[in-house]
Structure 1
Amino acid sequence: TSPGGALAGHGIVILGGPGAAEAAMVAPVLAALPGAVDMVGKLSLPEAAALLSRASLYIGNDSGLMHLAAAAGAPTLGLFGPTNAEEYAPSGPHARVVEADRHVSPPGATELERLARMDALPMERALAAATALLSPVPVA
């Protein structure tokens, strides 16, 4: 099952790499999405590509899986915080990005403090982009 609203009715599969560190990072996501299928660390890259080629939508951060999803032809929404979306955006006709809001740093801020954070990424923009990617494109 999935969250309500525009994404209702779509099953959710969570992908990630192998290892305890990856599983620990994904645990809060799985807890927030009861019913999601946990495939973290369970697929080889060719298996992940095959799954992604059949996906209705991929949503993820700037990662290898995001680029694999776009290459496999899945509508792909890349979520960007501190990394540069202009440089690292997924490519393809069905790829979009949503960037976290940049903020004005106080004088003397460290480089890390100047970076946009993922928690500054507006959920409304991500949902709108995901909904647009799920919408059928009219045929001319």
Structure 2
Amino acid sequence: MRILFITSTRIGDAVLSTGLLDHLIQTYPQAKFTIACGPVAAPLFEATPQVERIHIMTKKKRSMHWVDLWKDCGFTWWHRVIDLRNGPITYLFPTFRGTHLHRDDKTQHRVELFSNLLKLPTPAGPVLWTNDNHEQAADKLLPANETILAVGPTANWRGKTWRAEYFLDLVQRLTAQDGILPHAKIALFGHISEREPAQYLIDNLPNDQKIDLIGELDLPTVFACLKRCQFYVGNDSGLMHMATAARIPTLGLFGPTQEKLYAPWGDHCATVRTAIPFLDLFAENFDHQKTDSLMDSLSVDMAYEGAQALWAKIQTTKGQTSQ
């Protein structure tokens, strides 16, 4: 039995689809899976159980990447094809049952959208996987028996990136004697290509407190590191959704993106957003590539209060569970 699972190019959307993938893995424990996704997201699935192979869809002119997928997968008889990108060619794949996401509903969170595709009774939140190599690498990168605050100060475009000086103020408050994580280590996460906007934060954290992981770590190792942290705060990004999958308290900072679609998923998560409403953030000369941060109306006080509220909620839930 073989199942083809076609998911996103972007890390965040790919992570948000993994709950659906996990449901299929649990439902078909004997199946062999082929994952088709973009090159940036592909490493997420390195340790996914039952995966036979990963087809990397590198975008090409005239949608030729779909033709490449056909050449690779179009002559296999599939038990199921799950296409979250509604590709123009996957309707032709030989399959007992094909399921396509026909439209991008802008009223639904991505987790709900993907889960509704298979009519799951409960939305399936993100799930990620690691192997022993990833776990051992994380053990070397993070100190044992330390409280660690994870921070995602980067994003894939400048407009939704909170300024580094705001992050510095926030993490100093959170790890102060009267903060939610007194004297915690601070682990910084992000890709090497996004390092420049975070440089002020990197340079101004004490060396004995800072764990600088902004670089080229593979995604499963990043996930293994996140599992060892006690709290995450960061911009709306793929990292935020990976923290959600790690089941640590996750606070997402939002401005020019919509939390109703992309909020971190689960009872262990929360969001805070700019005082300026979403639609009012975009001026006539908005340029996705060049416009500076649109997050300035999200104050450090607002973010700190959001972190405090989430932490208090988590502690209350733990207390009720232990009773």
* Normalised TM-score (structure 2): 0.38
The equivalent of 1:101 in structure 2 is 275
The equivalent of 1:130 in structure 2 is 307
2:224 is equivalent to residue 45 of structure 1 = no
Measure, in 1, the Cα distance between the counterparts of 2:302 and 2:255: 13
State the AA in 1 paired with 2:222: A
The equivalent of 2:241 in structure 1 is 67
Instruction: Give the number of the structure whose alpha-carbon radius of gyration is greater.
Output: 2
Per-residue CA deviation, residues 59-116 of structure 1 (Å, 9 max, x unaligned), is 01010000000011111000011111111111011110000111696xxx51639xx9
Contact 1:61 1:78 in 2 (8 A): yes
2:265 is equivalent to residue 91 of structure 1 = yes
Partner-residue secondary structure (3-state), 1:12: strand
Partner-residue secondary structure (3-state), 2:234: strand
Equivalent of 2:199, from 11, 27, 31?
A: 27
Contact 1:57 1:130 in 2 (8 A): no
Partner-residue secondary structure (3-state), 1:27: helix
Superposition CA RMSD, Å: 2.5
Change (3 A) 1:78 1:31: same
* Normalised TM-score (structure 1): 0.82
The equivalent of 1:55 in structure 2 is 229
State the AA in 1 paired with 2:197: M
Show structure 1 runs of 5+ residues with no match: none
Measure, in 2, the Cα distance between the counterparts of 1:56 and 1:70: 12
Measure, in 1, the Cα distance between the counterparts of 2:304 and 2:204: 16
Partner-residue secondary structure (3-state), 1:15: strand
Measure, in 2, the Cα distance between the counterparts of 1:59 and 1:13: 11
State the AA in 2 paired with 1:118: M
Richer in strand (by share): 2
Contact 1:11 1:36 in 2 (8 A): yes
The equivalent of 1:117 in structure 2 is 294
State the AA in 2 paired with 1:134: W
1:42: how far off? 4.1
Show structure 2 runs of 5+ residues with no match: 1-147, 149-170, 288-292
The equivalent of 2:34 in structure 1 is none
Partner-residue secondary structure (3-state), 2:266: coil
